[in-house]
A and B are shown apart, each in its own frame.
Chain A
Amino acid sequence: DAGVTQSPTHLIKTRGQHVTLRCSPISGHKSVSWYQQVLGQGPQFIFQYYEKEERGRGNFPDRFSARQFPNYSSELNVNALLLGDSALYLCASSIGPYSPLHFGNGTRLTVT
């Protein structure tokens, strides 16, 4: 069975641009959550979706948005990129919102 897959693996963008990151959960997992990990720090929670509804949102500006599709895959969108958005973006899936997490390998975003 395939694990959590994220795309792209690496991305370079310019300040002010928009980016879309994608996540495909493990088959049968209905919950997807997104995390931002700045170099040298622990991950920070951004969003959680379960059954296509937002179940939680971290302390991130409105430039960050996400959605979950009927097949339970998810997109994270970031508008008006700032240098400080440079980070590893991790997606995790789980059967339910309180179940053990399975992480993808992340998307490394560099904003120049």
Chain B
Amino acid sequence: KNEVEQSPQNLTAQEGEFITINCSYSVGISALHWLQQHPGGGIVSLFMLSSGKKKHGRLIATINIQEKHSSLHITASHPRDSAVYICAVRSETSGSRLTFGEGTQLTVNP
């Protein structure tokens, strides 16, 4: 079992829909990252969080440390949100090393 599990693996939505991507992890962590990867490979860091909730524009990230679970929400989705969304954690015992999930491929249709 991977230390970081994401669900769903693939997600197709219609423009305007509310989207949720989930991330579960099995180790104690000091931080969790949500990343966005577009075709071609470039990665953009969306959020780094260790507790509670963060919001940036239409994106919201939440984390529940006790349940070892985080969610990324996209409100009013748009075709330009189509990308792979990756969850990565920094465990309490691995220093600055990140462990990544496999990613969730999101496609938003117009």
Taking beta carbons and an 8 Å cutoff, which residues of A are in contact with B?
Answer: 31, 33, 35, 37, 41-45, 48, 50, 55-56, 58, 88, 90, 92, 97-98, 100-106, 108
B25 at the interface (CB under 8 A from A): no
B43–A97 touching, CB < 8 Å: no
B42–A106 touching, CB < 8 Å: yes
A88–B100 touching, CB < 8 Å: no
Stretch among B14-22, B55-63, B74-82, B90-98 lining the A interface: B90-98
Given A56-B97, A97-B95: A103 touches B90 (CB 8 Å cut-off): no
Chain A hits for B52, CB < 8 A: none
Contact with A along B23-38 (1 / 0, CB 8 A): 0000000110101000
Given A41-B102, A42-B86, A98-B31: A108 touches B94 (CB 8 Å cut-off): no
Determine chain B's interface SS by DSSP, over half rule. strand
B96–A105 touching, CB < 8 Å: no
In the bound complex, how far is the Cα of B95 from the Cα of A50, in angstroms? 12
14 new A-B contacts, CB < 8 A, other than A37-B41, A103-B44, are A42-B102, A43-B43, A45-B97, A45-B98, A55-B96, A98-B30, A98-B96, A100-B33, A100-B45, A101-B45, A102-B45, A103-B42, A103-B43, A105-B42
State which of B30, B33, B86, B97 has its C-beta within 8 Å of the C-beta of A58. B97
A90–B31 touching, CB < 8 Å: no
In the bound complex, how far is the Cα of B46 from the Cα of A102, in angstroms? 10
Shortest C-beta distance, A96 to chain B (Å), equals 9
Chain B hits for A56, CB < 8 A: 94-97
Instruction: Please name 18 pairs of A and B residues whose Cβ atoms are closer than 8 Å in the assembled complex, sorted by A.
Output: A33-B96, A35-B98, A35-B100, A37-B41, A42-B86, A43-B43, A43-B88, A45-B99, A45-B100, A48-B95, A48-B96, A55-B96, A58-B97, A88-B41, A92-B43, A98-B96, A102-B45, A105-B41
